[in-house]
Structure 1
C-alpha cells in the first residue's frame, strides 16, 4: 500500500489530463520513503452525477483518497499527505486558475488484520531489477 483513489467530476476531462495526473501522483508517491514502491496503486474514477455549491454545472472537483496500512507515525503520514496534496495542487494549478475546481485529499489507515493482500508484483520487480543489473 498505499492505494490512491481519485474521484473527479466528468466536466474536468476537457481541462485536465487525468492519466497524467495519475502518473504524477504515482511518481510523487514513489519518492516518499514510507510508501513501498510495489504497493503503490493509483486509479481514477470519473463521476458523471454530482451537484456542487450553487448547482452551477461549471463547478468541478478532484477528490483524492489514500488508503494505507496502519502503523506509521502521525508526523510521517502528515508529511506524506502534504507532499501528495502539493503535487496534485501543482499539477492542477493551471486548470484551477481557469476553472471552478475543488481539490480535496484524505488519508486513512487500514487495519491489516481486516485487509488481506497477496500478489506477485514484488517478485516481478525483483526480477526486473536483477535483469537490469546483469
Structure 2
C-alpha cells in the first residue's frame, strides 16, 4: 500500500501522460517516509461512458483515489494528502489552462481486518539495497 488510482474521461486519452503523473506520484509517496516503495501502485482507468455537468461541452475529468493501509494518524494522512494534491494540481495546471477540466482527489484508509495482501516485492527491493 498505497494504491493510486486515476479514473478519467475518455476525451483525455491523448492529452494526459499518465506514466509521467505516476512517476511523480510514486516518487513523492516513496520520499515521504510514510510508505514502503515496494507497496506503491499507480494505475489509470479510462471511462468511456460518462456525462459531466450539462453535457453540452467537451468537459473532462480525472478523479484520483489514494488507498492506504490503516494505522497512520490523521495528521500524517492529511499532510500526505495535501502535499500530494499540490503535486496533482501542478501536473494538471497546463491542461486546465487549455480546456474545461475537473480534477478531484481523495485518500481512503482501508479496514485493518478486511484488507489482505501478499507481496514479494518488498523483499526483492531489500535484497537490492
Q: So what's the TM-score if we normalise by structure 2?
A: 0.94
Q: Which residue of 2 aligns with 1:47?
A: 47
Kept after mapping to 2: 8 A contact 1:22/1:44: no
Q: Give the 3-state SS of the residue equivalent to 1:82 in structure 2.
A: helix
Is it true that 1:17 corresponds to 2:17 in the alignment? yes
User: After superposition, what is the alpha-carbon deviation per residue over 1:42-93, rounded to whole angstroms, capped at 9, x for unaligned?
Assistant: 1111111110011135111111111111111111111100111111110111
Kept after mapping to 2: 8 A contact 1:62/1:104: yes
In 1, distance between residues paired with 2:123 and 2:86? 32
In 1, distance between residues paired with 2:24 and 2:10? 19
In 1, distance between residues paired with 2:84 and 2:56? 29
In 2, distance between residues paired with 1:86 and 1:123? 31
Kept after mapping to 2: 8 A contact 1:6/1:63: yes
Higher percent of residues as helix: 1
In 1, distance between residues paired with 2:88 and 2:4? 12
Q: How does 1:59-98 map to 2 (within 5 A)?
A: 59-98=59-98
In 2, distance between residues paired with 1:57 and 1:70? 40
Structure 2: gaps spanning 5 or more residues? none
Is it true that 1:106 corresponds to 2:117 in the alignment? no
Question: What do you get for the CA RMSD once the two structures are aligned?
Answer: 1.1
Aligned pairs, how many?
129
